[in-house]
Structure 1
Amino acid sequence: MQHPYDALHPDAVIDAVESQGLICDLRIYPLNSYENRVYQIGIEDAPALIGKFYRPERWSREQILEEHQFSQALKDLDLSVVAPWKNDQGETLFEHAGFYFALYPRQGGHAPETGDLDQLFSIGRALGRIHQMGKQSDFQHRPKLDIESFGRASREFLLAEKFIPVDLIPAYDSLSLDILQRVEDTFSRSNAQWIRCHGDCHIGNILWRHDTAHFVDFDDARMAPAIQDLWMLLSGTRHQQTEQLSEILEGYREFCDFDTAEIQLIEALRSLRLMQYSAWLARRWGDPAFPKAFPWFNTERYWAEHILSLREQLAAMQEPALQVY
Structure 2
Amino acid sequence: PQQTLDAVEATGLRCTNVCVQLNSFENRVYQIELHDGSPLVVKLYRPGRWSAAQIREEHQFLNALAQVDVCVCDVIELPKGGTLSQSGPLMLALFARQGGRAPEEVTMAMSARLGAMVARIHQVGVELPVEHRVALNADRLDDTLDWLLDQGALPADLVDRYVETAREIAAVLDERLTQVPRHAIHGDLHLGNLILRRDILHVLDFDDMMIGPACQDLWLLLPGRDEHTLRLRTAFLHGYRQFRDFDTRWLNLIEPLRGYRYVTYAAWLSRRWHDPMFPHTWPNFGTQKWWQKATQDLEDVLAHLDAPVVPDQIDDWAEEGSDLWDWGESR
Is TM-score (shorter-chain normalized) higher than 0.5?
Answer: yes
Change (3 A) 1:170 1:235: closer
| Equivalent residue, structure 2, for 1:155 | 145
- CA–CA separation in structure 2 for the residues paired with 1:95 and 1:115: 40
| Equivalent residue, structure 1, for 2:293 | 305
| Offset, 1:143 | 1.9
- CA–CA separation in structure 1 for the residues paired with 2:209 and 2:132: 11
| Equivalent residue, structure 2, for 1:99 | 90
| Offset, 1:113 | 3.3
Question: 260-269 or 17-26: which moved more?
Answer: 17-26
Contact 1:114 / 1:120 at 8 angstroms: preserved in 2?
no
Q: Cα deviation per residue 1:254-285 (whole Å; 9 max; x = unaligned)?
A: 11111222111011111100010001111121
| Equivalent residue, structure 2, for 1:210 | 198
| Equivalent residue, structure 1, for 2:166 | 176
| SS of corresponding position for 1:166 | coil
Equivalent of 2:155, from 156, 165, 182? 165
| Offset, 1:304 | 0.6
| SS of corresponding position for 2:127 | coil
TM-score normalised according to structure 1 size: 0.91
Equivalent of 2:116, from 120, 125, 129? 125
Calculate percent identity across the aligned residue pairs.
39
- CA–CA separation in structure 1 for the residues paired with 2:184 and 2:190: 16
Equivalent of 2:56, from 37, 41, 65? 65
- CA–CA separation in structure 2 for the residues paired with 1:179 and 1:128: 27
- CA–CA separation in structure 2 for the residues paired with 1:208 and 1:35: 23
Contact 2:20 / 2:32 at 8 angstroms: preserved in 1?
yes
- CA–CA separation in structure 2 for the residues paired with 1:316 and 1:309: 11
- CA–CA separation in structure 2 for the residues paired with 1:271 and 1:204: 20
- In the TM superposition, 1:75-90 aligns within 5 A as 75-90=66-81
| Equivalent residue, structure 2, for 1:7 | none
Counterpart of 1:43, as a letter, is L
TM-score normalised according to structure 2 size: 0.89
**Alignment pair present for 1:322 and 2:310:** yes
Contact 1:127 / 1:252 at 8 angstroms: preserved in 2?
yes
**Alignment pair present for 1:135 and 2:135:** no
Counterpart of 2:122, as a letter, is H
Size of the alignment, in residue pairs? 313
Q: Cα deviation per residue 1:13-40 (whole Å; 9 max; x = unaligned)?
A: 0101111232322222222212111112
Q: Cα deviation per residue 1:104-144 (whole Å; 9 max; x = unaligned)?
A: 11101111234322222222212111111211244122121
Q: CA RMSD in A?
A: 1.7
Q: Where does the alignment leave 5 or more consecutive residues of structure 1 unmatched? A: 1-9
Q: Cα deviation per residue 1:293-321 (whole Å; 9 max; x = unaligned)?
A: 22111111110110011111111113243
Counterpart of 1:270, as a letter, is R
Please list every run of at least 4 consecutive aligned residues from structure 1 whose deviation after the TM superposition is greater than 6 angstroms: none
| Offset, 1:97 | 5.0
Q: Where does the alignment leave 5 or more consecutive residues of structure 2 unmatched? A: 315-331
| Offset, 1:322 | 2.6
- CA–CA separation in structure 1 for the residues paired with 2:168 and 2:132: 31
Contact 1:238 / 1:322 at 8 angstroms: preserved in 2?
no
Counterpart of 1:130, as a letter, is I
| Offset, 1:185 | 3.2
Counterpart of 2:221, as a letter, is L
Contact 1:196 / 1:224 at 8 angstroms: preserved in 2?
yes
